[in-house]
């Protein structure tokens, strides 16, 4: 058993509490990882607000990390102690019908099909003050050590800087892949990105990499515009500057609407606005933002009957165990610069300050 620090969420609406926790050794098919760095993703905030489904408290959040294998359980062959790895919040068991489908990146072991609050044997590896602490998406990267099933771990290049590539665990591949894989943005096309936080900026980078000629960033926080332009946005607009709905503004300035639109906020009203802002016949709208549990969207069916395509994306449509190591290699080859997404670096003791920075759009 390893004793270490972890940021524990004891209840909904309470700040995280940095505690000493005990982390049990890995059982068969499991890997214990020393987490070196973790990003804070909006999804972690959704847990604290109580609007992420099926989470059981107390829980150790965090799902965007990178670390080093400390030990492995019986039967583990794909990683060994000392390997650099990224834990995967979307597993790839390699055996279910979705994993066997080359066009799918979903896995039936994922949280949407069966809760990942406990490891597959229905027990936890975390305890604190004599209480069982739950896992989050099996990864729980807000702990200095964590235990994860082998099929939710990807071995990466030994040269990768863990404090930078931790972003490749969730936020960056979700946005970048939404443009490249889900929308399949074509060269010379026009794109609109609603919401330019870390994931939205990754969408902007994906649109640029795909050769889009016009990338319009849409956000109410104008402080984000400079970074969006640095990463490839050709123009930035704020809905607050117009008297008419933003979809009408986008349709006017592009002629018939954009070729591709991306909603990276998770609000029902911006999802319908993003759909209406892409052109009525061949436009593609991708939902990237996660709405609050229980949200419902009502739309005019004519928005789709005329030919538009409305798609969702799950972690950018990457098969995670196969693709994350390749993305890390692309990062090392400087094919994209996700380092520009990093705004602050804090010690785990200041994790709540990190959430404040996230909530204030900084």
CATH of the domain at 230: 3.40.50.720
- Answer whether residue 156 is part of any domain: yes
Give pLDDT, residue 361.
87
Q: Is the pTM of this model over 0.85?
A: yes
129 and 227 co-located in one domain: no
189 and 328 co-located in one domain: no
Q: How many domains, in total, are found in the chain? A: 2
Is pLDDT at 333 greater than 90 in this prediction?
yes
Give pLDDT, residue 56.
96
Q: Which of 312, 335, 350 represents a domain boundary (last residue)? A: 312
Angle 291-102-67 (CA atoms, 0-180°, nearest 5)?
Answer: 65
Cα-Cα-Cα-Cα torsion 354, 357, 361, 362, nearest 10 degrees, comes to: -110
Distances (CA, A) of 359 to 43, 49, 54, 197: 12, 12, 23, 11
Burial of 199 (0-12, 13-18, 19+ CB in 10 A): buried
- Answer whether residue 285 is part of any domain: yes
Q: What is the pLDDT of residues 86-124, one digit of tens each?
A: 999 999 999 999 999 999 999 999 998 999 999 999 999
- Answer whether residue 145 is part of any domain: yes
166 and 58 co-located in one domain: yes
Give pLDDT, residue 184.
98
Report the alpha-carbon distance of residue 38 to residue 305 in Å, rounded.
Answer: 43
- Answer whether residue 116 is part of any domain: yes
Give pLDDT, residue 311.
97
238 and 261 co-located in one domain: yes
Is pLDDT at 51 greater than 90 in this prediction?
no
Report the alpha-carbon distance of residue 147 to residue 24 in Å, rounded.
Answer: 8
- The strand order across the sheet containing 2-8 reads 2-8, 17-23, 126-128, 131-133
Q: Collect all residues with Cβ–Cβ distance below 8 Å to 296 and sequence separation of at least 6.
A: 268
121 and 197 co-located in one domain: no
- Answer whether residue 176 is part of any domain: no
Q: Collect all residues with Cβ–Cβ distance below 8 Å to 73 and sequence separation of at least 6.
A: 25, 26, 27, 28, 29, 30, 31
- Answer whether residue 56 is part of any domain: yes
Angle 339-354-111 (CA atoms, 0-180°, nearest 5)?
Answer: 85
- Answer whether residue 177 is part of any domain: no
Give pLDDT, residue 273.
97
333-359: average pLDDT: 96
216 and 263 co-located in one domain: yes
295 and 189 co-located in one domain: yes
Is pLDDT at 257 greater than 90 in this prediction?
yes
Token duo for residue 9: 């969420």
Residue 294 pLDDT level (bands cut at 50, 70, 90): confident
159 and 267 co-located in one domain: no
Distances (CA, A) of 110 to 4, 73, 132, 136, 315: 27, 21, 22, 11, 12
Q: Collect all residues with Cβ–Cβ distance below 8 Å to 154 and sequence separation of at least 6.
A: 85, 86, 87, 88, 320, 321, 324, 325
Which residues form the domain of 215? 183-312
Residue 254 pLDDT level (bands cut at 50, 70, 90): very high
For the chain, give the mean pLDDT: 96
Report the alpha-carbon distance of residue 120 to residue 148 in Å, rounded.
Answer: 10
Is pLDDT at 205 greater than 90 in this prediction?
yes
Report the alpha-carbon distance of residue 264 to residue 201 in Å, rounded.
Answer: 9
21 and 89 co-located in one domain: yes
DSSP state of 175: H
65 and 115 co-located in one domain: yes
260 and 355 co-located in one domain: no
Residue written as token pair 């380092």: 339
CATH of the domain at 332: 3.90.180.10
Give pLDDT, residue 292.
80
129 and 234 co-located in one domain: no
Q: What is the pLDDT of residues 128-167, one digit of tens each?
A: 999 999 999 999 999 999 999 999 999 999 999 999 999 9
């Amino acid at each position: 058993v390893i004793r270490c620090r972890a940021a524990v969420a004891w209840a909904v609406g309470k700040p995280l509490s940095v505690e000493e926790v005990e982390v049990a050794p890995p059982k068969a098919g499991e890997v214990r990882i020393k987490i070196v760095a973790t990003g804070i993703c909006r999804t972690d905030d959704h847990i604290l607000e109580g609007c992420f489904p099926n989470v059981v408290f107390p829980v150790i959040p965090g799902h965007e990390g990178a670390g080093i294998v400390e030990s492995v359980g019986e039967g583990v062959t794909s990683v060994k102690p000392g390997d650099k790895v990224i834990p995967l919040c979307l597993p790839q068991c390699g055996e279910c019908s979705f994993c066997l489908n080359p066009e799918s990146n979903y896995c039936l072991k994922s949280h949407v099909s069966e809760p990942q609050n406990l490891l597959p044997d229905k027990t936890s590896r975390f305890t604190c003050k004599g209480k069982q602490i739950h896992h989050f998406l099996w990864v729980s990267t807000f702990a200095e050590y964590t235990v994860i099933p082998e099929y939710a771990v990807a071995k990466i290049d030994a040269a990768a800087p863990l404090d930078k590539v931790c972003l490749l665990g969730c936020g960056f591949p979700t946005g970048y892949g939404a443009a490249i894989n889900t929308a399949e943005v074509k060269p010379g096309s026009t794109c609109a990105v609603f919401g330019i936080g870390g994931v939205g900026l990754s969408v902007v980078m994906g649109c640029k990499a795909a050769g889009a000629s016009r990338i319009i960033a849409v956000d109410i926080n104008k402080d984000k515009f400079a970074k969006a332009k640095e990463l490839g946005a050709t123009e930035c607009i704020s809905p607050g500057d117009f008297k008419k709905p933003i979809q009408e503004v986008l349709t006017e300035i592009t002629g018939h609407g954009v070729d591709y639109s991306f909603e990276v906020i998770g609000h029902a009203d911006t999802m319908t606005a993003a759909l209406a802002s892409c052109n009525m016949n061949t436009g593609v709208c991708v939902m990237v933002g996660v709405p609050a549990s229980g949200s419902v969207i009502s739309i005019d069916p004519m928005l789709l009957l005329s030919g538009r395509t409305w798609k969702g994306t799950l972690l950018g449509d990457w098969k995670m165990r196969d693709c994350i190591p390749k993305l890390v290699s692309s990062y090392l080859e400087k094919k994209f610069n996700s380092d520009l997404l990093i705004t602050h670096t804090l010690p785990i003791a200041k994790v709540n300050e990190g959430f404040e920075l996230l909530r204030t759009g900084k």
